[in-house]
Amino acid sequence: MKKFNLKVLLILSLGHLVVDIYQGALPVTLPFIKDKLGLSYTMTGFILMMANFTSSILQPVFGYFSDKKAMAYLLPLGLVCAGAGYSLLSVPSYYPVILLLVVISGLGVASYHPEGYKTAHFFTGDRAATGMSFFSVGGNLGFSLGPILSVFIIKYFGFSALPVIVIPAFLCTAVIVASRRTIMVPVMEHAEAAKKTALPVSTAAWVSLTMVILIVIMRSWTQIGLMTYIPFYYVNYLKGDPLFAGKLVFVFLFFGAVGTLLGAPIADRFGHRFFIRVSMLLSTVTLPVVFIPFIQNSALLFVVLGLQGMLLVSTFSVTIVMAQKLLPNKLGVASGLMVGFAIGTGGIGVTLLGLVADNYGVPMALQSIVVLPLVGFLLSVLLRYDD
C-alpha cells in the first residue's frame, strides 16, 4: 500500500513551483513584448495561445509515454527548457523567434507535469486530495511568484535583464537530480504493482471524466483570463504602474495556492464532487464584485481578488485526484488531460478575449469573464461521480 511521504512531495512540489514560475510570468510579460515588437492584441494573444498549446494541450502526449515507461529525466529536462525558453524572451526583435522560445518553454512545462503528478500519486497515501495538494500548491505558488518576480526584474533592471530569471531553474534541477534515487525506486515498485491489478475503464467513467474536464476548462479560462487582462487593464488601458498590476496578479494567484491547501482536506472529508459545486457556486457569486468601481479604486480590490483566487483555485488538486481515480491505470494521461488539456483549452479561450479587446476594448474583455464560473457550476450539477 502506498504511504504518505511529505519529503518527496515537497521535493516534487519545489520543481513544480519553479517550472510554473515561467508559465505564470508570461502573461504579465506580454505588454512589454507587445510594446517592443509593436504587436496587436490578437498577435499578443496568439503568443499566449502557443504557450498554452505547447505547455498544456500537449501534456496528455507526454502522459501517454510516461504511462508506458517511467521517464524521470523529464523532470530536470522540463525545468531547464521552461526556464531557458522564457528567460530569453527579451532578446529577440522578431516575432517568429519569440514564438519559438515560447514553444521551447512550453514543452518544458508540458514534460514536467504528467511525470510529476504521476510520481506524486504514489506518495499521497490514503489522503489523496490532501497529499496531491502539497504537490499542486508548488505550481500555484509558482504561478503567483512568476508575475511579481518578472515584473520586479523588468521594472528595476530593465526588460533586457530578464535572462537572470533562469537561475531558479538551474538550482532546482540540481536538487531533483540529487534526489532521483529517493523518488524513482518506490515509483517503479508501485507502478509494477498497479499493472497487476489493472481494471478496464467504463463508459460512465469516461463520461464523468469529460464533465470534469469541461469544468476545469471553465475554471482555467476564468483564471488565465484574469491573469492576462488585469495587467492589460492597469498598464495599457489605465496607464498605471506595471508593478501594481503584478501585485494584483500575485495576490490572486497566491491566495489560489492557499485555497488549494485549505480546500483539499475539506474535499477529502465531505466529498470531491460536493466541494467542486460549492467552489464554482461561490466563484460565480463573488467574481462580479471585482468590477464594482468602488472596489476597483480601493485597496479592497486586493481582498476581493484574493478571495476570488482562493475560491476558484481551491479545486485544483481535487480535480486531478478525481481524474486519476476515474483512470487508475493511466495516471500520466489522467494528469495530462486535467492539468494540460483542460487548463490549456481554457487558456486558448483567452485568445477569444483578445478579439473582444481589439474590437470592444480591454474593459469589455475583462468583464466578459464573469459568465464562465456560472457555466462551470451548472456543469458540476450534472456531474456523476462516486467519492
The hierarchical CATH code for the domain 6-382 is 1.20.1250.20
Q: Can you tell me the distance from the alpha carbon of 191 to that of 208, in angstroms, rounded to the nearest whole number?
A: 24
Confidence band, pLDDT 50/70/90 cuts, at residue 199: low
Q: Provide mean pLDDT across the span 311-333.
A: 87
Q: What pLDDT sits at residue 190?
A: 58
Share of the chain above pLDDT 90, in %: 28
Q: Provide mean pLDDT across the span 40-66.
A: 84
Q: Provide mean pLDDT across the span 300-321.
A: 90
Give per-residue pLDDT as tens, 76-121: 899 999 999 999 999 888 999 999 999 999 999 999 988 888 888 8
Q: Is the pLDDT of residue 125 over 80?
A: no
**What pairs with residue 124 in β-bridges?**
4
Phi, psi (rounded to 5 degrees) for 223: -65, -50
Nearest alpha-carbon partner for 22 in 118, 145, 115, 129: 145
Q: What pLDDT sits at residue 236?
A: 74
Q: Is the pLDDT of residue 71 over 90?
A: no
Q: What pLDDT sits at residue 204?
A: 86
Please, which residues have CB within 8 angstroms of residue 247's CB and are 6 or more apart in sequence? Answer: 148, 302
Cell of residue 225, nine digits:
483570463
Q: Is the pLDDT of residue 131 over 80?
A: yes
Q: Provide mean pLDDT across the span 280-308.
A: 84
Q: What is the mean pLDDT of the chain?
A: 85
Q: Which of 62-71, 234-243, 270-279 has the highest mean pLDDT?
A: 270-279
The answer to whether 162 touches 89, Cβ cutoff 8 Å, is yes
User: How deeply is 348 buried, as exposed, middle or buried, from its count of CB atoms within 10 A (0-12, 13-18, 19+)?
Assistant: buried
Q: What pLDDT sits at residue 237?
A: 73
Q: Is the pLDDT of residue 200 over 80?
A: no
Nearest alpha-carbon partner for 350 in 42, 141, 68, 85: 42
What is the dihedral sign for C-alpha 87, 88, 94, 98? negative
The domain spans of the chain are 6-382
Q: Provide mean pLDDT across the span 355-369.
A: 84
The answer to whether 125 touches 321, Cβ cutoff 8 Å, is no
Q: Provide mean pLDDT across the span 6-18.
A: 89
Confidence band, pLDDT 50/70/90 cuts, at residue 192: low
Confidence band, pLDDT 50/70/90 cuts, at residue 187: low
Q: What pLDDT sits at residue 294?
A: 66
Q: What pLDDT sits at residue 380?
A: 93
